[in-house]
Amino acid sequence: MRNLHIVKVGGNIIEKDEDLQHFLDLFANLEGPKILVHGGGKLATELAERLGIAVKMIDGRRITDAETVEVITMVYGGKVNKHIVAGLQARNCNALGFSGADGNTIYSVKRPVKNIDFGFVGDVVGVNSELIDKLLDIGITPAFCAITHDGKGQLLNTNADTIACELAIGLSKSYKVTLNYCFEKPGVLIDVANDDSVVREINTSKYSELLEDKIIADGLLPKLENCFYALKGGVNKVQLGKPEMLQNTNTNFTTLRL
């Protein structure tokens, strides 16, 4: 089976252009087929606030009303996605920008209302891996933003970590996938203020231990849920850390195992 790298880059890196450009250097240098998935939550929050649209987050997920769908479409599908695609083109990496609606690549359903009404937030139902596979075959690097669609004309806001995870599971049928979550920390830290406290390997029992000790908190909670879901779904390797982990050097990062 061929190798495939799927790399998700988070909002804290995207927000600082210098950090984003450094990430793009390392991503563009990866050999072989690759897919980029980007967030941009912080930039969406900034624009919503400038426009006077209230921002509400619950459990790390954005409550997405009709006005917020407009904001995220402009920020994720427009500004951030096109900036990243242009940055990759400048590095001779032939990127093609996608939302899940483009080529029907990622379809989802509006999250059913239980205790909380998240609004126009999508839960992924499927991935059009056939089309993505064909694009990879002709040397295209897809760059996905955090938007999916319901097939009836509605765009849905979908967490970028989840998009990366679902793409990784969908493409694991035809590739040996390494799923990389790049963020501003060198991995899961025992002490979030100390970059030297990286947990190098987390298996399911270590995961339970870290959860019990409340070491895994905030944005890391849904991220690690996605990591283990991906491994159970057949993804070959899942790792978490700073963009340097893409270089295969001696950098510290976290590897997840079942």
Ligand X SMILES: Nc1ncnc2c1ncn2[C@@H]1O[C@H](COP(=O)(O)OP(=O)(O)O)[C@@H](O)[C@H]1O
Ligand Y SMILES: CC(=O)N[C@@H](CCC(=O)OP(=O)(O)O)C(=O)O
Residue 159, interface with ligand Y (CB under 6 A)?
Answer: yes
- If one asks whether residue 220 binds ligand X (CB under 6 A), the answer comes out as yes
Give the 3-state secondary structure of residue 109.
strand
* Contact status: 34 vs ligand Y (CB under 6 A): no
Residues numbered 28-67 forming contacts with ligand X, rule: CB under 6 A = 39
Q: Residue 26's Cα: distance from chain center in Å?
A: 16
The answer to whether 254 touches 188, Cβ cutoff 8 Å, is: yes
Structure tokens at 167: 């793409």
Which residues inside 90-129 make contact with ligand Y, applying CB under 6 A? 121
Other CB atoms within 10 Å distance of the CB of residue 250: 6
Nearer to ligand Y, 159 or 178 (CB): 159
Q: Which is nearer to ligand X, 98 or 183 (CB)?
A: 183
Cβ at position 160, least distance to ligand Y in Å: 4
For ligand X, the closer of residues 64 and 129 by Cβ is: 64
* Of 163, 151, 35, nearest in space to 93 by CA: 35
Which of 4, 35, 41, 246 touches ligand Y by CB under 6 A? 41
Give the length of the chain.
258
Cβ(87)–Cβ(24) below 8 Å: yes
- List residues binding ligand Y (CB under 6 A): 10-11, 39-41, 44, 61-62, 72, 121, 146, 157-160
